[in-house]
Amino acid sequence: MKEILTVTELNSYIANLLDSDPFLGQLWLRGEISGFRLYQQSGHMYFTLKDEDSTISAVMFKSRARGLKFKPKDGMEVLLRASVSVFARQGKYQLYVEEMQPYGIGGLFLYLEELKKKLAAKGYFAPERKKAIPAFVQRVGIVTSQDGAALRDICRILKQRHPGVEVVLVHSSVQGSEAPGELAEGLRLLNSYGEVELIIIGRGGGSYEDLMAFNSELVVQAIYESNIPVISAVGHEVDFTLADLVADLRAATPSQAASLAVADMQALSRQLDNYQQRLLRAMQRKLLYYTEIIDRLMMKRIWKQPRSLLHMREELLSQLEKRLSRGMTETFREKKMRLSMNVAALDSLSPLKIMERGYVLLQKEGRIIRDEQQVQIGDRLEVAMRHADLEIEVIKKERVKRWKS
């Protein structure tokens, strides 16, 4: 090597070397996107593709990026077709991406995002669509694997809280390609069976891929269509699936689902004890209250000597009777006396009695004459005496003063 090269010459030499390699000209590669940038003006995409141990820069030009069916994001696992070449200006080799698609969990993530959006638009996750979990459940339906830890956990907690609870299990695989269809069928089976008040669907923890059945559209649909309230219980606390979103209630774990499903019978039993005791106490208080009132009344002397009360009353009664009859006799006598007095008075006032004393009644045409003005000389007047009527004529009229009135 005697020649002295410029930097540009070296870079272009390396570029030639790489470009002439058939393997590097067309390769499929998988990795995780990081440091993703989209230049708005140019429309080109720049990012770093990495795995656990190393990284490589990548560029996807606008003309290629236009065909993408998803939005690349940091953290996304992708599968891409690219060539490797040198970016001479910076002296580094990089990937020139021709096409790209999601891969693995990154791809799942994308699929889930799209499915979630689609189902959300259909109203699957709307809170108002969620059914209430009944408070006192006697029969619980479970859709899970009959061999799984989840079933054991659920049954243990159910029994602990409510020893009388009945469990109706529908076995289903919970991972693998059969799982979505079987889980959905299990839900439908319990719905057509109808005799459970609540359904728990779930499985124990596992890898993200293991839980994928609970993200499937089949399962989400079946949960959505269930007429019986559904509690989802998938994996651990951190795991979140579409089944959790559509379920009427999401339990963080299968054990928690069991706690949410049935009331704690011991607590209920204690509550019943409490109510019974309170009923008894309140009733006792009431009775005691009345007993005291009665006691207080009975304490009075009168109750101790009922006979004396009776005698007192009898005496009073006979006194009243005596007074009454005496009163009646007296009143009668008095009335009688007053009556005879009145009769005598009436008699002395009678006009006949007066006529007997010589007085007469002077009338003119049937009217009693009290005043000389009522008569004229020559008038004919009638005179009523004790034993006769006369007819007379006025011959003289003279006013006299008899007594001062």
Q: Name the residues that contact other proteins, by CB under 8 A.
A: 134-136, 138-139, 141, 146, 151-152, 155, 159, 163-171, 189-190, 193, 265, 268-269, 271-272, 275-276, 278-279, 282-283, 285-286, 290
Q: 3-class DSSP state for residue 287?
A: helix
When the beta carbons of 11 and 144 are compared against other proteins, the nearer one is 144
Q: How many CA atoms within 13 Å lie on the side-chain side of 197?
A: 12
Fill in the DSSP letter of residue 377. Answer: T
Least CB distance from residue 134 to other proteins, whole Å? 8
Least CB distance from residue 152 to other proteins, whole Å? 6
* Dihedral (Cα; 209, 213, 217, 222), 10-degree rounding: -160
When the beta carbons of 83 and 138 are compared against other proteins, the nearer one is 138
Parallel, antiparallel or unpaired: strands 55-60 and 77-87:
unpaired
Q: 3-class DSSP state for residue 202?
A: strand
When the beta carbons of 31 and 204 are compared against other proteins, the nearer one is 204
When the beta carbons of 57 and 138 are compared against other proteins, the nearer one is 138
Least CB distance from residue 43 to other proteins, whole Å? 57
State the chain's maximal CA–CA distance in angstroms: 202
Phi, psi at 102, each rounded to 5°: -65, 150
Least CB distance from residue 164 to other proteins, whole Å? 4
Write out the two tokens for 317: 């009664």
Question: What angle do the packed helices 217-225 and 104-121 form, to 10 degrees?
Answer: 30
Least CB distance from residue 148 to other proteins, whole Å? 10
Q: What are the residue ranges of helices labelled H in 34-131?
A: 62-65, 104-121
Look-up of token digits 């058939």? 22
When the beta carbons of 126 and 282 are compared against other proteins, the nearer one is 282
When the beta carbons of 151 and 249 are compared against other proteins, the nearer one is 151
When the beta carbons of 278 and 322 are compared against other proteins, the nearer one is 278
The answer to whether 203 and 151 are in contact (CB under 8 A) is no
- Can you tell me the distance from the alpha carbon of 104 to that of 28, in angstroms, rounded to the nearest whole number? 15
